[in-house]
Amino acid sequence: MTAPDTIVLVHGFWVTPRSWEHWISHYERRGFRVIAPAYPGFDVEVEALNADPTPIVNVTVPQIIERYTAAIKELPSKPIIIGHSAGGAFTQILLDHGLGAAGVALNSAPTEGVRVVPLSQIKSTFPVLKSPANRHKAVGLTAEQWQYAFTNTFTEEEGRALYERYHIPASGAILWGGVLANFQPGHQDTWVDYHNDNRAPLLFVSGSEDHIMPPAIQQSNAKHYKSNTITEIKEYEGYAHLLPAQKGWEEIADHVLDWALTHASARA
C-alpha cells in the first residue's frame, strides 16, 4: 500500500472546522493534502451559526457519518483520519466502516458501550443534559462553562479568545442520544464493532486534565476493542480538552501523524 498522502480532520461539537485552522496549515507545510469537512448544516462561519443555530438542531449522527463517508470515498486512496471530541467517536465509526488507512481519536467522545461517567464530565455537559427539553434545541456554553469544559489549563484570557473564535451551540439531540445509547435495545448511532479485525490502526490521545472527556473515558473506550488489530493510547500530561489549540500542539500533531504513517504503512 502506498503511504497515505491525505489527512481528513473531523471536528467536534461546540466548534466548527475552523478549530482545525492551524493543524491544516501545519500538515500542508509537511506536504499533505488536508480536508476538514463540516457537519451537514455547519457549512457557514462561526458567527453565522451563533446568530442562527437552526441548522444545528436537527443534524443526526447518520447524516454526519454520511457526509464524511462521501468525502472520503471521493479520494483516490485511503486517508489518515484524525478526529477531536465527538469527531473522535466519528473517526472510530468511519474506521469500523472500512474507511481510512489509520485513525487518531483526540480526547474522544465515547462510542456505545463505554459507561464511564466521571464527575467532571457531568459538570461539563450539565448545561445540555440538565433538561430533556434541550433534546430539541441547540445549546451553547457560557464563557465560564467553556473555560471549565474546554480550556481549564489555559489562562482566562486565552480561553476567552478561543471561545470568541471557535464556540457555537451544540445539538442537544445528539448529546442526549449519546447518554441514552447504553440504555436502549439494539445498536444505536455510535455503535462500533469492537471485534472488527479488518479495522485500520487506531490511536487514542488523552489530555490528562481534560474535564469533559477525561482519561478514564479514553482508557475504557480503548479497552473495549478486542479485535486483532492495533489499538493504542497515549496520554499527554497537562493538556485540556481543547488540546488541538493548547501550547505545544505542534508536537502532538507531528507525533500522531508519524504514528499513523508508521502503522498505516505497516498494513501494506
pLDDT at 131 over 90: no
Q: Cα(237)–Cα(253) distance, rounded to whole angstroms?
A: 15
pLDDT at 265 over 80: no
* pLDDT number for residue 174: 87
* pLDDT number for residue 268: 41
DSSP string for residues in 35-74: E-PPPTT--S-HHHHHH--HHHHT--HHHHHHHHHHHHHT
* pLDDT number for residue 186: 76
86-129 pLDDT per residue, tens: 999 999 999 999 999 999 999 999 999 998 888 999 898 989 88
DSSP tag of 253: H
User: What confidence tier does 185 reach under pLDDT thresholds 50, 70, 90?
Assistant: low
User: What confidence tier does 160 reach under pLDDT thresholds 50, 70, 90?
Assistant: very high
The set of cell numbers assigned to 89 is: 467517536
Domains and CATH numbers, the chain: 6-266 (3.40.50.1820)
Q: What is the pTM of this model?
A: 0.95
Q: Cα(197)–Cα(211) distance, rounded to whole angstroms?
A: 32
